[in-house]
Amino acid sequence: MDKLSAILNRFSISAGVFYTGGLCGLSAFDDPESIEGHLHLLNSGRLEIVDGQGRQIKLEQPSLVFYPKPTRHQLIASEEDKARVVCASVRYGTGPNNPLANALPEVVVFPLAESALLKSSTEALFDEAFHERSGRDAMMNRLTEIFLIQLLRHVMDAGTLSQGMLAGLSHPQLAKVITALHQTPEDAWTLETMAALAHMSRSTFAEQFRELLGQSPGDYLMEWRVAVAQNMLKKGKQVNLVANAVGYDSASALGRVFRKKTGYSPKQWLKQ
């Protein structure tokens, strides 16, 4: 299994296109209860985006703006700007606080012309968005989900991230360890076994891991195990079975780690 599929197989990502067409005026995204990220694709014209801190993004060519997590922002365009957009909400299987969303910057912005693959993908999406065809909504949602996977692939392959999970997956040695942790979190991982897999000494491995991912290997493994456990709990799995599946001997052992990371027991979190 490749390194990105190991993540996507654990955590579902879904998209729902909620607006297509011309934009004139102001559209605000400021719901404090929101659990969605947002993707905005500018097909033509000009567009300004202002976030909750007053930071501005000005687009004058086909571009994407992706907020992986719920973020207050506004889209602004006048009639003269002739902005034509596709806007979609993005949801994750375990909510916005998950390893995939956490691995990305607060906002991802770049012109579509910078990637032939992404440009081609959006052309198919724009063609569907601006024509009335049978199954249009379902097709747009599927194309947006495919686009998001291609975006993740592009971010990883470009090596533009300086820290985090996706940056680690771009490292030739650390990637082997991170992918193995993702695939088999239930294994009895130690610093020694991780370092050996990376073909590094313990000290070098621990130092480079912390530098690139921003946390120790042990903390990363614990967070990943809790995230996988959350995904399994949402699918109705029993706590004791989930505990064994993510590397803990008992439900109480999982509960201690779970409470440390989330502030809740597994059952309390599920009710939330």
The per-residue pLDDT for range 92-120, each reduced to its tens digit, is 877 777 788 888 889 999 999 999 989 99
Q: Tell me the domains of the chain and their CATH numbers.
A: 3-158 (2.60.120), 171-271 (1.10.10.60)
This prediction's pTM = 0.86
Q: Is 170 helix (H, G, I), strand (E, B) or coil?
A: coil
Q: Which residues contact 31 (CB under 8 A, 6 or more apart)?
A: 70
- Among 19-28, 58-67, 153-162, 260-269, which stretch is predicted with the lowest mean pLDDT? 153-162
Q: Is residue 133 within 8 Å of residue 140, measured between CB atoms?
A: no
d(CA 10, CA 124): 27
- Among 94-98, 164-168, 190-194, which stretch is predicted with the lowest mean pLDDT? 94-98
Residue 186 is predicted with a pLDDT of 96
Residue 102 is predicted with a pLDDT of 85
Q: What is the band of 48 on the pLDDT scale with cuts at 50, 70, 90? A: very high
- Among 10-14, 46-50, 146-150, 226-230, which stretch is predicted with the lowest mean pLDDT? 10-14
Mean pLDDT of 190-194: 97
